[in-house]
Every structure is written in structure tokens, then in C-alpha cells.
Structure 1
Amino acid sequence: MPRDRDEEGRARSARPRDGLGRPLPYGTEGVPRAPEGVTRTPAQTLAEAQRLLDEGMPFHAHEVFEDAWKTGPAEERDLWQGLAQLAVGLTHAARGNARGGARLLRRGADRITAPSPASQGLSYGLDVDGLARWARGLADRTEGEDRVPDASVEAPRLRPE
């Protein structure tokens, strides 16, 4: 079967996906996907990712964070990659891959809290310490269980309200 490709010939899956990013059969109605390669401001990135997390779609929030690390300045890469790892860690935990989810949650927590001269002042109002506590706590809780029952219930708050 030929692979789906974009206008530049890069492989892109056109299959519909569910809220956790799992591929569905062609012809099935999936959830709308976030367009790839979108350049957003940090505030727009955080607002869109929070909306997706609140709706139980952490895989799609991961894609929004991925856009931020790919289109943003190099000094912000660790922050956005760490946030993407938190979102995809929640995705794996909700899909039933508790061990992989826990590993990604811890890796993301370590990345967003790692001190580096380039990352100082790049928090954009994020509760970085709270997110790291949330991620490590969820990793500890889910590691021995089958799955997170509802990703929207477990979704973190990116910024304090």
C-alpha cells in the first residue's frame, strides 16, 4: 500500500485518528487534527495545547508543542520538547502503555526543570514546578496500572489560574 505524502513528498498519515491519536480505518470519522508546522506565539501554543488537554486529546496537544519546538528559537527547544513529552506521556498512559507513559512523563519533567542559561526566563507563566510534580505523581500512580481511565480528568493545568 502506498504511503500518504504531503505536497513536498514527505510521509504523512492521512488516516483519521481518535482523541488519543490512534489511527482509525480509512473512511472512519476521526477527531479533527491540528495542522502541522503552524507557527504560533507562546501564548497561542499554550492556549491551544491546554484546550486539547482539557478535551482529553493529549496526543494532539503534543503535536502543538512539537510545532513550537520546531518553529521556535533554539533556546526554547528544551521547554517545548519537555511539554511535548508530558503530553505524549499522558497519551501513552491513557492508551494502556503505563510503563512507556511513566518514562515519558519523567523525562519531560526532567527536561522542563533542567537548569540551563538558555532556558532562564522562558516559562511563559507556566507552573513548571507544578507540572513536574504532576508528571512524576502520575508516573508513580500509573506505572503499576493498566491505563489512565480518562485523559481529560488527568490533564494538567499548564498555567496557574
Structure 2
Amino acid sequence: MSEVPGADGRDRDAEGRARNARPRDGLGRPLPYGAEGVARQPEGVVRTPERSVAEAQALLDAGRPFHAHEVFEDAWKSGPKEERGLWKGLAQLAVGLTHAARGNATGGARLLRRGAAAVVAWADAAPGRARPYGIGVPELAAWAEDLARRVEGGEVPLDPVAAAPTLAP
């Protein structure tokens, strides 16, 4: 990947697809070209569901919810169709935490609630799956609703490490 934008102002990969090569900070915000950023999550990695949960938890614990979102997004795009709602909801929760940590109360609360509704709806629609891959769906939904209320109440920006959820209680 190039380190500077191409003639059209966008980074492109070898196949000509747009890719943003700018370095990013720990919350996924683009930094100026040449700045030192954090390592990015590789895209398109196929993991087992258990590995996805473990990697995402490690990233959340490290204060990198944007990167955890990318792990969930890989699972959502590569996993079984019937599980996409779960992974998409988890990705929305991670992005909601990202927005709240960046100081965006409106976007953070909205995505936290949307993600909570998605994971709860998925578990409700899948009998016997209240704890898919060890994920405590009821606890996670309660965490998201509580954090959304705090964010709306002005608790932004927040510390992503202190606010991170525990996926598997």
C-alpha cells in the first residue's frame, strides 16, 4: 500500500481498490501521513468464533475498541449467515464505545443501543443460545444500556479501558 494518496487523493491497493493507508491512533482516528500510529488490524481474517471473541476482548481490554470492531466485522462477513446479526451487533457495540471514547455522545449512545438490541434479538431468536461462544448477552446488553445512559448524561470522552465490557463473564 502506498503511504501517500494517489492522484485521485485516495490510497489504492494493488488491485486498485480504495484503501486508507494513513496511520491511525488507538481509537481508529486518522493521523497525518508519516505520523506514528498503532498497528492496524489486518482485514479479512477468518477466525473461529472463539478466537474472534478472545481477540476482540484483548483489544477492548487494551483500550482499542475500534480495532475490536474490525475483528467482529471479519466474523460478521466470513461467518455463517445465521450468525451475522450477532457479529454485527458486537461490532456496533465496539463502535459505540469508540465514539463515546472520542467524545461523540450522540453517536456513541445510538450505536450502543443498536448493538445491544441486535445481540439480544439474535439470542432471543436462537433457542438455547443466550450465551453464544461464552458471550454473556444479557450482561453485555445491560452494560451497553448503562453506558449509553452515562454517555448521554455527559460522561464523554470516556476512558475506553475503564469502560470496556467483559464479553464472557
Same fold (TM over 0.5): yes
Contact 1:105 1:135 in 2 (8 A): yes
Provide the secondary structure at the position in 1 that maps to 2:70.
helix
> What percentage of residue pairs aligned between the two structures are identical?
67
Letter of the 1:70 counterpart: K
Bigger RCO of structures 1 and 2 (CA < 8 A, at least 6 apart): 1
Tell me the equivalent position of 1:89: 96
Structure 1 gap ranges (5+): none
Aligned residues between the structures = 159
- Runs of 4+ in structure 1 deviating by more than 6 angstroms, as ranges, are none
**Is the aligned partner of 1:105 residue 2:133?**
no
Equivalent residue for 1:152, pick from 154, 161, 165: 161
Q: TM-score, with normalisation over the residues of structure 2?
A: 0.90
Structure 2 gap ranges (5+): 1-7
Output one character per residue of 1:30-88: Cα deviation in whole Å (capped at 9) or x when no partner.
00000000000011101110111001000000011000000111011000000000000
Equivalent residue for 2:26, pick from 19, 22, 32: 19
Q: TM-score, with normalisation over the residues of structure 1?
A: 0.94
Letter of the 2:24 counterpart: R
Letter of the 1:18 counterpart: D
Contact 1:97 1:146 in 2 (8 A): no
Structure with greater Cα Rg: 2
CA distance in structure 2 between the aligned counterparts of 1:120 and 1:79, rounded to whole angstroms: 14
Following superposition of structure 1 onto structure 2, how do residues 17-96 of structure 1 map, counting pairs within 5 Å?
17-96=24-103
When the two chains are superposed, the root-mean-square deviation of aligned CA atoms in Å is 1.4
Letter of the 1:61 counterpart: A
